[in-house]
Amino acid sequence: MNDMTPVKTSPKDWETDQEVRWCPGCGDYAILKAVQRTMPELGVKPENTVFVSGIGCSSRFPYYMETYGFHTIHGRACAVATGVKLANPELDVWIITGDGDALSIGGNHTMHLLRRNLNCQILLFNNEIYGLTKGQYSPTSREGTKTPSTPFGSVDRPATPCAFALGSGARFLARAIDTHKNLPNVLKAAHAHQGAAFVEIFQNCIVYNADVFADFTDKANAAPNQLWLEDGKPVLFDGGNKGIALDRDKLQLKVVEVVDGDWQAAGVIVHDVTNRSVAHMLIELRLQDGFPVALGVIFDDPRPTFDSAVIAQNVAVSKGKTPDLQGLLAKGQTWTVEKENTVFG
């Protein structure tokens, strides 16, 4: 933004008059509310904000935000957003996508947007299912998921969105849960990051994949199974009774008991959002292996953005050159015919 003066808005200012059409009880409602609550805190102007989406339940999102919005085609939100941002880097661009949209049909664009590091926020609503097309398994569905297209259970191994993003070169990774109170904080951190900020939001599809995340999102399971990361803080969970330490022999993370709050004695590591190696290990922690799910800002280490590099080069190579179309047309292999048939090279 050119004008950095924070703008005063209320959550209401970010709501449209459009009827929201998600299924009752869908996790998307909670995410929409969280985003509308977060926007005023960012101090940005609705007219400078653009929400770009692909296709899928989540991709209806822009219609409900009182900002500029572009509901594009399946898988291509990242590509459209790249054009938007390069054409006008002043715009604050948010991409709304889902597991099928971003990792299946649009996987290529997601990878390249992250690699290039376009300055934008990508919110990937992961519900591990195709909702809009009525419940087929998705690239993040777990093995054995029974759906209309996999009546005997899926046999292919799921993708891990954050691992895909990190492998693609993402410089910001975060995870959140649709209904969790920490979502706005994660969104704020994503917005503060200069560059592509990749946020995976576990979203409950109540119709086709209800409670698929309940193992760690349910209140009863939250404490032992949610690992909320904070930069500079020890990596603790389960009310501080457990922590994550480095198994130096195997070079992998392990769960340790913390006695009397003495996490240092237990060897618990301190979260450093700029540590890419540890970020790799954190996103691979799986419930079935006895680990909690890493949540919050996992990795945040900015690099120069694609849009700023493009603009900088446009400016640099144009320096000292005056656009002169007439001159351009007359360049190269030219000759003049003065009178008929008299040629001058």
Partner 1 sequence: MASVAQTLGTGTAGTIQNDESIVVRFAGDSGDGMQLTGGQFTLSSALAGNDFATFPDFPAEIRAPQGTTFGVSAFQINFGSGAIDTPGDAPDVLVAMNPAALKTNVGNLKPGGLIIADEGEFGARNLAKAGYEVNPLEDGSLAKWQLVKFNISQLTLEAVKPFGLGNKEALRCKNMWTLGLALWMFDRDRQPLIDWLNGKFKKNQVLADANIAALNAGHAYGETIEIGGQVKRHHVNPASVAPGLYRTITGAEAVAFGLVAGAQLASMPMFFGGYPITPASSILHYLSNLKEYGITTFQAEDEIAAIASAIGASYAGQLGVTSSSGPGIALKGEAIGLAIMTELPLVIVNSQRGGPSTGLPTKTEQSDLYQAVYGRNGDAPLPVIAARSPSDAFDCAIEAVRIAVQYMTPVMLLTDGYIGNAAEPWAVPDMSTYKPFPVKFLDEVPEAGFKPYSRDAKLARPWVKPGTPGLIHRIGGIEKQVDTGHLDYSPANHQAMTDIRKAKVDGIAHGVPEQDVTLGAAGGKLAVVGWGSTYGAIHQAVSRARAKGLDVSQIHVRHIWPLPTNLGELLKSYDKVIVPEMNTGQFKTVLRDQYLIDAKPVNKVSGQPFTIAELEAAIEEALA
Q: Which residues lie near partner 1 (CB under 8 A)?
A: 16, 18, 45-48, 50, 52, 55, 62-63, 66-73, 76, 78-88, 90-91, 108-109, 111-112, 310, 313-314, 317-318, 321-323, 325-326, 328-343, 345
Identify the three-state secondary structure at position 52.
Answer: strand
Identify the three-state secondary structure at position 142.
Answer: coil
User: Which residue lies nearer to partner 1 by CB, 288 or 342?
Assistant: 342
Out of partner 1, ligand SF4, none, which partner does residue 52 contact, by CB within 5 to 8 A per kind? partner 1
Sheet with 236-237, strands from edge to edge, namely 236-237, 242-247, 252-257
A 10 A CB-CB count for 97 gives 29
DSSP string covering 150-211, please?
BTT---SPPP-HHHHHHHTT-SEEEEEETT-TTHHHHHHHHHHSSSEEEEEEE---TTTSTT
Residue from 1, 20, 23, 222 touching ligand SF4 (CB under 6 A): that is 23
Out of ligand SF4, partner 1, none, which partner does residue 127 contact, by CB within 5 to 8 A per kind? ligand SF4
Q: How far is the CB of 336 from partner 1 (least distance, A)?
A: 5
Q: How far is the CB of 151 from ligand SF4 (least distance, A)?
A: 19
CB 67 within 8 A of CB 51: yes
List the one residue out of 164, 202, 197 whose CA is nearest residue 94. Answer: 197
Q: How far is the CB of 207 from ligand SF4 (least distance, A)?
A: 4
Q: Cα dihedral sign for 305, 311, 317, 320? A: negative
Query: What is the footprint of ligand SF4 within residues 207-246 (CB under 6 A)?
Result: 207-208
Distance CA 245, CA 183 (A): 26
Residue from 22, 164, 228, 237 touching ligand SF4 (CB under 6 A): that is 22
Distance CA 229, CA 224 (A): 14
Q: How far is the CB of 204 from partner 1 (least distance, A)?
A: 24
CB 193 within 8 A of CB 300: yes
Please tell me whether residue 177 binds ligand SF4 under the rule CB under 6 A. no
Q: How far is the CB of 204 from ligand SF4 (least distance, A)?
A: 7
Out of ligand SF4, partner 1, none, which partner does residue 321 contact, by CB within 5 to 8 A per kind? partner 1
Residue from 9, 14, 28, 229 touching ligand SF4 (CB under 6 A): that is 28
Q: How far is the CB of 74 from partner 1 (least distance, A)?
A: 8
Positions touching ligand SF4 (CB under 6 A) are 22-23, 26, 28, 57, 127, 131, 205-208
